[in-house]
Amino acid sequence: MSSLEHTATAPAGATTSPALDTGTLLDHYVIERELGSGGMGVVYAAFDTELQRRVALKVLRDGLTDQAQQRLLREARAMARLTHPNVVTVYEVGSANARDFVAMELVDGESLAEWLRAERRREHEILDAFISAGRGLAAAHGAGMVHRDFKPHNVLRSKGGRVVVTDFGLARDAADPLTATLPVPPTSGPPPTDSALSDLTVPGSLVGTPAYMAPEQWSGGRLTPATDQFAFCVALWEALSGERPYRGITLEALREEVTAGPDKLDMSKLPRRFRALLRRGLAPAPAARWPSMDALLARLQRRTRRVA
């Protein structure tokens, strides 16, 4: 697996913080091991000495601007108020030893991307997992949040089969026009690899993952729940057919394909009963997509009953 699948580009101003060694005490959390890192912080498995439970502890990077730092902490607190079985639970937002952290539920399992790669999955298994993830997105939308970086790597599946959406590090308040509007990402430069298109946050801005980005993310438009719906449909198409709908090998080519819309896409490997549903979710104009994640999921569940 490429290292790009684990590392997102840090925003301007952020610096790489010294790693926390095993046994380090951060407030009432004892660091066990590093789980992964991203543009905004490093995630550790840790033990909560007060409540006697293991957690995932996200420690924010040094060097973030005050504005970025406060926004991230504000968003984490908003997520802490959201309780849903398909959204990772945020336990606490705090600061200790000059380090800000977010304590979250530690899910014992693997990402949906890893689960899909491990073996050929049956159609009903894929649909069940995505419907659960969709419910998590719908719950976040109901709380006024937009994820902005939904993809199989940001969905966890526990060993018991529970599916949760995680990594709301790029989430924004859908009602805030300042934080819901993005700069235009760069489209020039050397062609990235396929894994880069799949897993790398676009350099210079927190916009999401190119392979799953909606047209409004490429153009710097306002992001809404329909933006997450687009990414969800890309991911579901990929899971059902084995190929992503848009397969440009450079950022510029991918952007052109996404903007052109789904009418000329090759649907031969996609089960027929899902074609119209996903094509609507991939409409270039947000208003032309499904009215909400709930509406999309209701239609998807009807298709699922046909499969069963």
Angle at 155 between CA 62 and CA 49, to 5 degrees: 55
Q: Is the dihedral of CA 112, 116, 122, 123 positive or negative?
A: positive
Distance (Å, whole) CA 252 – CA 13: 26
Cβ contacts of 47 within 8 Å, gap of 6 or more: 29, 30, 32, 53, 54, 55
Tokens of 294: 């709930």
Query: What is the sign, positive or negative, of the torsion defined by CA atoms of 111, 39, 63, 173?
Result: negative
Alpha-carbon dihedral sign for residues 15, 36, 197, 278: negative
Closest CA relative to residue 46, chosen from 25, 77, 62, 76: 25
Residue labelled with tokens 């969905």: 155
Which residue is catalytic, options 149, 167, 199, 228? 149
Q: Which residues contact 6 (CB under 8 A, 6 or more apart)?
A: 36, 37
Task: List phi, psi (to 5°) of 89.
Answer: -85, 130
Q: Name 165's Cβ contacts closer than 8 Å, sequence gap at least 6.
A: 86, 87, 88, 133, 136, 137, 140, 147, 150, 154, 155
Q: Is 48 a catalytic residue?
A: no
| Alpha-carbon separation of residue 57 from 119, 123, 139 (angstroms) | 30, 34, 23
What whole-number distance in Å separates Cα of residue 165 and Cα of residue 171? Answer: 12
State the catalytic residues. Answer: 149
